């Protein structure tokens, strides 16, 4: 079996490691590793996809995932990558979100077999902590000066960092220590925005337990222009089919920019790298075949083969009726957001806002094959392009 480090490196996941020796460790033994997800919503979104795929590759290579759901840390909120403070959630809401995450993560990792994944909730040990004991036992190992140099805090200092959020790093480091003691877990993995928190945990184990702990971060899911992937006309791209339909999910990846296909295929599918190279190292419109495969493979992972087939068939039916996408009438709009009525007027699919509202109320307008019923509907994001459908046979491509 190939060393998982080589697999992750070949596919372009690895961003940083705490120190040398991780690859050799993977060769010598089966590693217990953990990855954390804070349940700030009732569904995972596309930003979590890379994390789940890394955990999946690690388990397939024989290592054991410990999935930590942050039922405790979510009570505070991670300041990493944010310029404002997260809103407070109730314990009941967090508990509900935890259950939703467990169900979705089972599509990526197995909870059976010799290296069966384990799900833990850090609320089990964080919520009943004695604060004085915690600060004496854990806080003594942290330097405030050093913490303030961390990227996750520097960005927040500009707008004001609450003492509540300042505790987050200590709590995440404590998670690593608890899992080290309970599960012999000596590796934490996470997105590159978690680098400071991971370093803190590894250092806490080194200083308190006189033991070596590793950290590995991987790429965030970004476009070739450096912006986060996963924004649609309706907002975030969720893994929950009730929030983002399998068809809309499929269409998002069918429509990614040409420059993003190869990287996305490496990070979010199980296709061999050799096949990815063959599909993506092409010119011109030939990349569209790779986009179809990308959309199908990702939808199959998240929603299952049956839903992927349905989405593929629906897309083929849509574009079959529209003819070649390249020859479709196209309108470029200058800025977002834009209301659906204004969009219909700009594309000349409706002569006036009044006629646009009538079309919508009669069920005659769809965006990417999703019927629009709200006359106040706003288009907030466009990734590459969207297709507006009027009736059964009129199609119009809209670009930003």
pLDDT, tens digit, for every residue of 211-235? 999 999 999 898 888 888 876 656 6
One domain, residues 241 and 182: no
Cα→Cα distances 283→254, 273, 287, Å:
17, 18, 7
Length of the chain: 400
Q: Which of 63-72, 181-190, 240-249 has the highest mean pLDDT?
A: 181-190
Domain residue limits at 293: 224-324
Per-residue pLDDT, 19: 85
Integer Cα distance of 231 and 324 in angstroms: 25
One domain, residues 255 and 317: yes
One domain, residues 343 and 317: no
Integer Cα distance of 288 and 215 in angstroms: 37
pLDDT, tens digit, for every residue of 144-159? 778 777 776 776 676 6
Structure token pair of residue 316: 């083929």
Residue 58, pLDDT > 70, answer yes
Share of the chain above pLDDT 90, in %: 48
| Average pLDDT score over the chain | 87
Cis peptide, bond prior to residue 72, ω within 30 of zero: no
Residue 88, pLDDT > 50, answer yes
Q: For the stretch 95-123, what's the b/e string if a residue is b when 16 or more beta carbons lie within 10 angstroms of its beta carbon? A: eebbebbbebbeebbeeeeebebbbbbbb
Domain end call among 164, 194, 218: 218
Integer Cα distance of 251 and 48 in angstroms: 19
Domain end call among 149, 184, 218: 218
Task: Could you list the beta-strand ranges (E) of the chain.
Answer: 14-17, 32-37, 64-69, 118-121, 187-191, 214-218, 231-232, 235-236, 330-332, 338-339, 365-367, 370-371, 378-379, 386-390, 394-399
pLDDT, tens digit, for every residue of 264-276? 999 999 999 999 9
Question: Exposed, middle or buried, 394 (CB in 10 Å: 0-12/13-18/19+)?
Answer: middle
Mean pLDDT, to the nearest integer, of 340-352? 91
Cα→Cα distances 239→188, 251, 312, Å:
24, 14, 17
CATH code, domain carrying 367 = 3.10.290.10
pLDDT, tens digit, for every residue of 282-331? 988 889 899 999 999 999 999 999 999 988 887 777 665 544 565 567 88
One domain, residues 263 and 339: no
Q: How many CB atoms lie within 10 A of CB 37?
A: 23
Cα→Cα distances 324→18, 61, 269, Å:
49, 42, 27
Question: Exposed, middle or buried, 362 (CB in 10 Å: 0-12/13-18/19+)?
Answer: exposed
pLDDT band at 97; cut points 50, 70, 90: confident
Integer Cα distance of 112 and 118 in angstroms: 9
One domain, residues 317 and 372: no
One domain, residues 247 and 296: yes
One domain, residues 51 and 181: yes
One domain, residues 162 and 287: no
Residue 70, pLDDT > 60, answer yes
Residue 14 CA to its chain's centroid (Å): 16
Write the DSSP symbol of residue 141.
Answer: G
Mean pLDDT, to the nearest integer, of 339-348? 92
Per-residue pLDDT, 303: 94
CA dihedral 336, 341, 344, 350 (to 10 degrees): -160
CATH code, domain carrying 9 = 3.40.50.620
pLDDT band at 83; cut points 50, 70, 90: very low
One domain, residues 264 and 173: no
Given the structure tokens 């349940």, which residue do they identify? 39
First to last CA, the chain: 46
Per-residue pLDDT, 312: 87
Residue 351, pLDDT > 90, answer no
pLDDT band at 87; cut points 50, 70, 90: low
One domain, residues 50 and 196: yes
Q: Please count the structural domains in the chain.
A: 3
As beta bridge partners, residue 216 has: 17, 189
As beta bridge partners, residue 313 has: none
Mean pLDDT, to the nearest integer, of 177-199? 94
pLDDT, tens digit, for every residue of 11-52? 999 999 998 899 999 999 999 999 999 888 889 999 899 999
pLDDT band at 201; cut points 50, 70, 90: very high
Integer Cα distance of 273 and 268 in angstroms: 12
pLDDT, tens digit, for every residue of 167-178? 788 889 999 999
Per-residue pLDDT, 153: 73
One domain, residues 231 and 260: yes
One domain, residues 256 and 202: no
Domain end call among 181, 202, 218: 218
CATH code, domain carrying 302 = 1.10.240.10
Per-residue pLDDT, 78: 52
Structure token pair of residue 153: 């805090």
Cα angle, residue 68 at apex, residues 14 and 231 outer, rounded to 5°:
60
């Amino acid at each position: 079996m190939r060393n998982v480090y080589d697999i992750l490196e070949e596919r372009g996941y690895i961003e940083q490691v705490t120190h040398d020796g991780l690859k050799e460790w993977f060769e010598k033994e089966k590693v217990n590793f953990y990855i954390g997800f804070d349940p700030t919503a009732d569904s995972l979104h596309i930003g979590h996809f890379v994390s789940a795929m890394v955990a999946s590759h690690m388990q397939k290579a024989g290592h054991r995932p410990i999935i930590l759901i942050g039922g405790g840390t979510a009570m505070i909120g991670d300041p990493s990558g944010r310029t404002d403070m997260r809103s407070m959630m109730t314990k009941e809401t967090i508990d509900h979100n935890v259950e939703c995450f467990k169900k979705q993560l089972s599509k990526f990792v197995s909870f059976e077999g010799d290296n069966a994944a384990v799900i833990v909730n850090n609320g089990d040990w964080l919520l009943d902590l004695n604060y004085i004991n915690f600060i004496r036992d854990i806080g003594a190992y942290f330097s405030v000066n050093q913490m303030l140099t961390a990227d996750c805090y520097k960005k927040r200092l500009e707008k004001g960092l609450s003492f509540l959020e300042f505790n987050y790093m200590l709590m995440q480091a404590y998670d690593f220590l608890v899992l080290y003691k309970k599960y012999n877990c000596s590796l934490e993995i996470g997105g590159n925005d978690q680098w400071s928190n991971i370093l803190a945990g590894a250092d806490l184990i080194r200083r308190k337990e006189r033991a070596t702990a590793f950290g590995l971060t991987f790429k965030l899911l970004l476009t070739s222009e450096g912006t986060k992937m996963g924004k649609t006309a309706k907002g975030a791209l969720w893994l929950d089919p009730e929030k983002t339909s399998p068809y809309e999910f499929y269409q998002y990846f069918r429509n990614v920019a040409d420059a993003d296909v190869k990287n996305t295929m490496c990070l979010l599918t199980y296709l061999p790298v050799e096949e990815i190279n063959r599909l993506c190292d092409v010119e011109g419109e030939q990349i569209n075949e790779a986009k179809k495969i990308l959309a199908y493979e990702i939808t199959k992972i998240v929603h299952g083969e049956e839903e992927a087939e349905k989405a593929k068939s629906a897309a083929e039916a849509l574009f079959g009726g529209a003819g070649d996408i390249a020859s479709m009438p196209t309108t470029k709009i200058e800025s977002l957001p834009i209301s659906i009525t204004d969009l219909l007027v700009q594309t000349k699919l409706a002569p006036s806002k009044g006629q646009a509202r009538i079309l919508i109320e009669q069920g005659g307008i769809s965006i990417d094959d999703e019927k629009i019923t709200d006359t106040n509907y706003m288009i907030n994001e466009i990734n590459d392009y969207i297709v507006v459908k009027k009736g059964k046979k009129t199609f119009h491509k809209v670009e930003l």
